[in-house]
Structure 1
Amino acid sequence: MSLTRDEVRARLQHLGPEELALLEEQLQARLWQRRWDRWTPYPWQVPPDRIETLGWWLQLGGRGTGKTDGCARYMVTHVNGPPCDPRLPGGHRMAIIAPTQGDAAEACVNGPSGLKAHDPRVKLRQTTGGTFARWPSGAEAKLFGAHTPDDVERLRAGGNRCLVWMEEAAAMRRLADAITHSEMGLRLGSNPHYIASTTPKPRKELIELKANPKVIVTQGRTRDAIHLPAEQRAHLIAKYAGTRIEAQELDGVLLEDIEGALWSWVAIDKARVGAAPQLASVVVAMDPAATSTDDADEMGIIVAGRGAAYLPDKNGFQRQHGYVLDDLSGRMPPIEAARTAIKAYHEHRADAIVAEVNNGGEWIGTVVRQVDPTVNYRVVYASRGKATRAEPVAALTDQLSAHIVGSFPELEEQLTTWVPGDDSPDRLDAYVWALTDLMLASAGNSAAVA
């Protein structure tokens, strides 16, 4: 049975102050529960069943994937769960650390994905002891920055906590200090731990965290963030497709420089160019897979050119420069690989198709000549080990005289993750053959040309 507005008003007029206060509390609780139940998480926003003591739940995600949202939800759930220390008001004493204290207040508390969005009862309070997010129960989270030496000192004196939320950890100027000093105080309750949310950057601290067995990582991609406007997602993906920005800022990939790798992301990015100049020579280099099954290696097919003019390297010396123009590698049958290389040969007006034949690659010449006998085709034989062949080519990148035109993420990933001694992937091998043929073979560095 429903009541009219006048009937409701008449009943309310007969309630005393305590009854009205209780009714208001019940209505607020019902409203909060309704809002709480409406939230549907993305898969990467679902926390692990358990985080180890002094362990982490680390959300890596692209822009708009709700990393802050997921951590705010977790903190509210934590506050409403069993008390970590029953002696404390509300049972919980937590910390929120962001690049600046203002970021902590804006993003983690007041923002559309912050604590207030999940629990409107949260109040932001500034006291002589600092800035706090507080619940009616007395539970609190103190806000910290990690930008200045003063911020570090505040963290050093930050007190003991049961939960630490690190917001946009990769953007913190003093991330290492923030981890060190917050960990010193993470000792309330039986299971003190971290949660963290960030768009990744190749920082030493994040790489170490990802490798730590106590750190549970979830990862979200902008393309899968369906609550973002579809037009905005499509624009970002189209604009940055195939670039390092897409991998890091949209797909949430932590791009790492590997110890012992001959190429680094920093060197590749420094040498990267938007367009190639006039070229004196172009080759299509092929590194064949031994088979063409689904689990076979890729057929490495790289198009590269040598600049017509001598230009300065990073030390000011005039030298020739090489440019990677295209990466057409992939798993494909021999006939498709040959047709792909021949098409690139004509489109780029290449001087030759250069193919490595040590590893059962003799078939390339046969197939290429069958498809198009007009192609200038030659083979190269490895006369030295793979590391010896690759090192002078990697040095060209360090000298800023070997450039990637635009971005080829799969090739760049192979370059930056291969360590001499491991089996070298085919994109990398084709890249090495191309640059060797264009810039180093005449000096006898690493190939014999037939």
Structure 2
Amino acid sequence: MTVDLETLRARVQQLTPEELALLEEQLAARLWQKRWNRWTPYPWQVPPDAIETLGWWLQLGGRGTGKTDGCARYMVDHVNGPPCDPRLRGGHRMAIIAPTQGDAVEACVNGPSGLRAHDPRVVLRTTAGGTFARWPNGAEAKLFGAHTPDDVERLRAGGNRCLVWMEEVAAQRRLSEAITHSEMGLRIGPNPHYIGSTTPKPRKELVELKASPKVHVTQGRTRDAIHLPEEMRQHLIAKYAGTRIEAQELDGVLLEDIEGALWSMAGLDAARVGATPPLSSVVVAMDPAATSTDEADEMGIIVAGRGAAYIPDKNGFARQHGYAIDDLSGRMPPIEAARRAIRAYHEHRADAIVAETNNGGEWIGTVVRQVDPTVNYRTVTASRGKQTRAEPVAALTDQRSAHVVGSLPDLEEQLTTWVPGDDSPDRLDAYVWALTHLMLAPAGNLAAVA
């Protein structure tokens, strides 16, 4: 029996509001079921048969391997499975922790691989208590970031959960605190546990997770991600074949110590501190792109300070120590790079913005002066090779006199994966300039710009 469109429209118009709401709910359920049945997983997107209490399913994967997709699918499946606590509306209270709360919204909920792609009935709601992904049955997942101290405090008071999804684990600045505080809230139901998705980076916490017997690891490679356009896959594979970038970013391999690298993760961890002591000097160091119109390269922006006290280093020599405080680097227009550096200069009460002027970097001084002529701006010019400049700074870490404050994962990745002879990345260069200025360079080697 077929019904013409006009007759169907007339019938719908005769429905009461309650009947219309029920019809919409039923249609949404049918649409969800259709999408759900159409999904075909990669082998590495198939979760283990069982995950231990407080254990993990951790997906390590290269770019485009569907890590977010796999975790979103798992969470939707969890919601539609047995209730973890029948007393709760919907039976489940979960959490999603991403590098920032915005990342949780964009990637984990609204993105093409997020929750709504697997279950269009999911809605996003922001209330006085936070931001939540909610299902029609009442189940919910609260969204968190792991970037600022305030994010950590929100996690501390984040409530009890039955499942925690950690998105881009290795990119979370305050990963250790995020794990600690979320674990304390994992206590709903008979089997609370984690799922995690990440492109691997050499982070201490990730190395420890991978080695834990309670963590089930699956690994996907970009070359096997057949849903990606073939041309893009072949381009990436050809461009990075045989490099560390291929191993980490395309094959999902967790690289630990790199042969020939000047810094090691063990060395950074041994020198790491949790807070900044009283400082005698602070600088904002910049390694700008080669031209004022180049937005393809990263702008390296590192905030670092020199301690006021003289503290013995590993060898017992009393000296003022150096501290990497913040990493504000990224791809951005030149005017935004200048504004970001100037904001940091004022927020940290810095003594100077220090910028490299080699390779066409002279433009940065002009832009900084246009934005804020009150800034004390200094230039540095490389008279030695990158390896020669970097080695003394790496030695400071080995001597336990140069420290990372908290966690700066992107900077740490560049430090521990760069091998002399390769092109040095911008965060590393800015860090080297900052520590050189604070701890190694005679005052006469820096040119003040009036």
Which TM bucket (shorter chain)? Answer: 0.5 to 0.7
Aligned residue in 2 for 1:191: 191
Distance change (3 Å), C-alpha of 1:119 and 1:314: same
**For residues 22 and 256 of structure 2, what CA distance do their matches in structure 1 show?**
56
Aligned residue in 1 for 2:428: none
Amino acid at match of 2:252: G
**For residues 95 and 123 of structure 1, what CA distance do their matches in structure 2 show?**
15
**For residues 117 and 201 of structure 2, what CA distance do their matches in structure 1 show?**
28
Distance change (3 Å), C-alpha of 1:28 and 1:201: same
Structure 1 residue 146, shift from structure 2 partner = 0.7
Aligned residue in 1 for 2:143: 143
Aligned residue in 2 for 1:363: none
Distance change (3 Å), C-alpha of 1:18 and 1:130: closer
1:45-444 matches, within 5 Å, as 45-257=45-257, 263=259, 265-266=261-262, 314=388
**For residues 311 and 194 of structure 1, what CA distance do their matches in structure 2 show?**
46
1:370-410 deviation line (CA, Å, top 9, x unaligned): xxxxxxxxxxxxxxxxxxxxxxxxxxxxxxxx96679xxxx
Structure 1 residue 264, shift from structure 2 partner = 5.9
Structure 1 residue 23, shift from structure 2 partner = 3.0
User: Contact between 1:57 and 1:216, CA under 8 Å: does it hold in 2?
Assistant: yes
1:204-251 deviation line (CA, Å, top 9, x unaligned): 111100110000000011111111111111111111111000000000
Amino acid at match of 2:169: A
> Which is worse superposed, 25-34 or 62-71?
25-34
**For residues 117 and 66 of structure 1, what CA distance do their matches in structure 2 show?**
13
**For residues 32 and 77 of structure 2, what CA distance do their matches in structure 1 show?**
13
Distance change (3 Å), C-alpha of 1:234 and 1:54: same
Aligned residue in 2 for 1:22: 22
1:56-109 deviation line (CA, Å, top 9, x unaligned): 000000011110011011111111111111111111111100111111111111
Instruction: Structure 1: state its 5+ residue gaps.
Output: 270-309, 318-401, 407-450
Structure 1 residue 149, shift from structure 2 partner = 1.0
Aligned residue in 2 for 1:356: none
- Give the secondary-structure state (helix, strand or coil) at the position aligned to 1:141: strand
**Higher-Rg member (1/2):** 1
Structure 1 residue 123, shift from structure 2 partner = 1.2
User: Contact between 2:170 and 2:198, CA under 8 Å: does it hold in 1?
Assistant: yes
Distance change (3 Å), C-alpha of 1:9 and 1:52: same
Distance change (3 Å), C-alpha of 1:207 and 1:268: closer
- Give the secondary-structure state (helix, strand or coil) at the position aligned to 1:90: coil
**For residues 144 and 8 of structure 2, what CA distance do their matches in structure 1 show?**
47
1:9-45 deviation line (CA, Å, top 9, x unaligned): 4544555544443333222211111111111111111
Amino acid at match of 1:80: N
Amino acid at match of 1:246: E
**For residues 103 and 257 of structure 1, what CA distance do their matches in structure 2 show?**
29
**For residues 264 and 205 of structure 2, what CA distance do their matches in structure 1 show?**
22
Aligned residue in 2 for 1:382: none
1:92-141 deviation line (CA, Å, top 9, x unaligned): 11110011111111111111111111111111111111111111211111
Aligned residue in 2 for 1:41: 41
1:251-301 deviation line (CA, Å, top 9, x unaligned): 00001239xxxx4645599xxxxxxxxxxxxxxxxxxxxxxxxxxxxxxxx
1:315-374 deviation line (CA, Å, top 9, x unaligned): 899xxxxxxxxxxxxxxxxxxxxxxxxxxxxxxxxxxxxxxxxxxxxxxxxxxxxxxxxx
Structure 1 residue 311, shift from structure 2 partner = 8.7
**For residues 125 and 422 of structure 2, what CA distance do their matches in structure 1 show?**
52
Amino acid at match of 2:245: I
Amino acid at match of 1:190: P
Amino acid at match of 1:132: F
Matched residue count: 279
**For residues 160 and 21 of structure 1, what CA distance do their matches in structure 2 show?**
32
Distance change (3 Å), C-alpha of 1:81 and 1:249: same
Distance change (3 Å), C-alpha of 1:6 and 1:46: same
- Give the secondary-structure state (helix, strand or coil) at the position aligned to 2:90: helix
Structure 1 residue 6, shift from structure 2 partner = 3.6
User: Contact between 1:268 and 1:404, CA under 8 Å: does it hold in 2?
Assistant: no
> Which is worse superposed, 58-67 or 3-12?
3-12
Alpha-carbon RMSD:
2.7
- What TM-score do you get using the length of structure 2 for normalisation? 0.58
User: Contact between 1:162 and 1:193, CA under 8 Å: does it hold in 2?
Assistant: yes
**For residues 420 and 20 of structure 2, what CA distance do their matches in structure 1 show?**
73
- Give the secondary-structure state (helix, strand or coil) at the position aligned to 2:219: strand
**For residues 23 and 204 of structure 1, what CA distance do their matches in structure 2 show?**
51
Instruction: Structure 2: state its 5+ residue gaps.
Output: 266-383, 392-418, 424-450
User: Contact between 1:95 and 1:142, CA under 8 Å: does it hold in 2?
Assistant: yes
**For residues 386 and 164 of structure 2, what CA distance do their matches in structure 1 show?**
50
Distance change (3 Å), C-alpha of 1:142 and 1:18: closer
- What TM-score do you get using the length of structure 1 for normalisation? 0.58
User: Contact between 1:268 and 1:403, CA under 8 Å: does it hold in 2?
Assistant: no
Amino acid at match of 1:140: E
Distance change (3 Å), C-alpha of 1:23 and 1:200: same
User: Contact between 2:260 and 2:420, CA under 8 Å: does it hold in 1?
Assistant: no
- Give the secondary-structure state (helix, strand or coil) at the position aligned to 1:223: helix
- Aligned-residue sequence identity (percent) comes to 80
**For residues 90 and 76 of structure 1, what CA distance do their matches in structure 2 show?**
12
Distance change (3 Å), C-alpha of 1:264 and 1:172: farther
Amino acid at match of 2:179: I
- Give the secondary-structure state (helix, strand or coil) at the position aligned to 2:247: helix
